[in-house]
C-alpha cells in the first residue's frame, strides 16, 4: 500500500523534522502550514531534491473549511491517507492565570484541541474500514506539560495538551477495530521556535538543568518516536503516549 502522510504545521520545528524522516521512510508527504510559506516550500524542496515526494498546503487547522480543503487536496494529489500527525500547536506569552484573558485559552484550544479533533475526524472518515478505508495511524502531539501543569507559564496550554491525551485514548478505543491506531508523543523541552511565542526564546537552555538528562531535546529525537508509532513495528500499540523528555 502506498504510504501517504499529512503533517500539520510542518514548515518548521518538530513538524519539519517529522516530514524529513517520513520522506526517508518512503511516505509521500503533505505538510500544512499557517503563515510560513517560504519555510514550507524549503521543506518540500529539500525532500524532492532527495527524490522524495512532497507538497505543502496552506491551512489553518482551527478553521473547519480549511481542514476539509486540505484533506481534499491530499485525496486528489496523493490518494488515500495512511498516516496523520496532528503536530500544529501554539502557546502564548508566559503568564500567571490571574493575568490571562479568556480569549487566549479559546485561541489555544481552537488550534491545539479543535484542530486535532477536526483533522482526526477527516482522517477517520478516510481510513476506517467502516467507511471502506484500508486503515492507518494517527499520532497526536501532546506535551509533558499535560502532566506537569506549567504553573506560572501557561496552564492553558498544559490543559489543552491534557485534552489531547484524553482524545488520544478515546479515539484509539473507538477506532481500534477499524484498522486505525491512535497514539501520542509527549515531548519535554525541545529546541524550536515555539519558545519565542512564550516570550522566552532561551527557555530550553534556561531550564535544562531541571531535566534529568541535563539537556534539551532536538526535533529529530521527537520525530523518531513519531515514525516508530506510525510504523508496522508498533502494530499492537494504540492509545499509548511516549515521553520524549530526557526523563522530565
Ligand atoms: P513551532 O512553533 O516551531 O511549530 C508549530 C507549527 O504549528 C508551526 O509551523 C506553526 O505555523 C503551526 N501552527 C500553529 N498554529 C496553526 C494553525 N492554527 N494551523 C496550522 N498550523 C499552525 O513549535 P514546535 O515545538 O515544533 O511544535 C510542534 C508541536 O510540538 C506543537 O504541538 C507543540 O505544542 C508540541 N510541543 C513542543 C515542545 C517544545 O519544547 N518545542 C514541547 C512539547 C510539545
Q: What angle do CA 87, 217, 46 make, to 5 degrees?
A: 60
Which ligand 1 atom is nearest residue 145's CA?
A: 43
Give the Cα separation of 219 and 21 in Å (integer): 11
Which candidate in 157, 191, 218, 236 is catalytic?
157
Residue-level pLDDT at 148: 97
Where do we find the cell 517520513?
A: 22
Give the Cα separation of 98 and 152 in Å (integer): 10
136 lines ligand 1 (CB under 6 A): no
Residue-level pLDDT at 138: 99
Compute the distance from residue 177 Cα to the ligand 1 centre, in Å: 30
- The sheet carrying 241-244 orders its strands as 53-58, 28-33, 4-7, 83-86, 136-141, 180-187, 241-244
Homologous superfamily of domain range 4-189+219-244 = NAD(P)-binding Rossmann-like Domain (3.40.50.720)
Residue-level pLDDT at 1: 76
Residue-level pLDDT at 209: 97
Tens-digit pLDDT profile for residues 195-240:
999 999 999 999 999 999 999 999 999 999 999 999 999 999 999 9
Residue-level pLDDT at 240: 98
Tens-digit pLDDT profile for residues 67-87:
999 999 999 999 999 999 999
Question: Could you give the C-alpha distances from 84 to 63, 111, 178, 241, in angstroms and in order?
Answer: 17, 16, 16, 16
**Residue 157 appears among annotated catalytic residues:** yes
Give the Cα separation of 16 and 12 in Å (integer): 5
In eight-state DSSP terms, residue 57 is E
Domain boundaries, the chain: 4-189+219-244
111 lines ligand 1 (CB under 6 A): yes
Give the Cα separation of 203 and 227 in Å (integer): 26
190 lines ligand 1 (CB under 6 A): yes
Where do we find the cell 512564550?
A: 198
Which candidate, 225, 122, 131, places its Cα nearest to that of 183? 225
Predicted structure pTM score: 0.98
- Take residue 79 and report the three cell numbers written for it: 490518494
Q: Which residues pair with 57 in a beta bridge?
A: 32
Compute the distance from residue 128 Cα to the ligand 1 centre, in Å: 27
Q: Which residues of the chain have pLDDT under 70?
A: none
ipTM value > 0.95: yes
Instruction: Give alpha helix (H) positions in 128-185.
Output: 145-148, 155-175
Compute the distance from residue 141 Cα to the ligand 1 centre, in Å: 9
Amino acid at each position: 500500500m502506498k504510504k501517504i502522510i499529512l503533517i500539520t504545521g510542518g514548515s518548521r520545528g518538530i513538524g519539519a523534522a517529522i516530514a524529513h524522516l517520513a520522506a526517508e521512510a518512503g511516505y509521500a508527504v503533505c505538510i500544512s502550514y499557517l503563515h510560513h510559506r517560504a519555510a514550507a516550500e524549503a521543506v518540500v524542496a529539500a525532500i524532492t531534491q532527495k527524490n522524495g515526494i512532497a507538497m505543502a498546503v496552506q491551512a489553518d487547522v482551527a478553521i473547519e473549511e480549511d481542514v476539509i480543503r486540505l484533506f481534499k487536496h491530499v485525496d486528489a494529489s496523493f490518494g488515500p491517507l495512511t498516516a496523520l500527525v496532528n503536530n500544529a500547536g501554539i502557546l502564548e506569552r508566559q503568564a500567571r492565570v490571574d493575568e490571562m484573558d479568556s480569549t487566549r485559552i479559546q485561541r489555544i484550544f481552537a488550534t491545539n484541541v479543535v484542530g486535532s479533533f477536526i483533522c482526526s475526524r477527516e482522517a477517520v472518515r478516510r481510513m476506517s474500514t467502516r467507511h471502506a478505508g484500508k486503515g492507518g495511524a494517527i499520532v497526536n502531539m501532546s506535551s509533558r506539560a499535560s502532566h506537569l501543569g506549567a504553573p506560572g507559564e501557561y496552564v492553558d496550554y498544559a490543559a489543552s495538551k491534557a485534552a489531547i491525551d484524553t482524545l488520544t485514548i478515546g479515539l484509539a478505543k473507538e477506532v481500534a477495530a477499524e484498522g486505525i491506531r491512535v497514539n501520542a508523543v509527549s515531548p519535554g523541552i525541545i529546541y524550536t521556535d515555539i519558545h519565542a511565542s512564550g516570550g522566552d526564546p532561551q527557555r530550553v537552555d534556561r531550564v535544562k538543568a531541571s531535566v534529568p538528562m541535563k539537556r534539551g531535546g532536538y526535533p529529530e529525537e521527537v520525530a523518531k518516536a513519531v515514525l516508530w508509532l506510525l510504523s508496522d513495528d508498533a502494530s499492537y500499540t494504540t492509545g499509548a503516549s511516549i515521553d520524549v523528555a530526557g526523563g522530565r
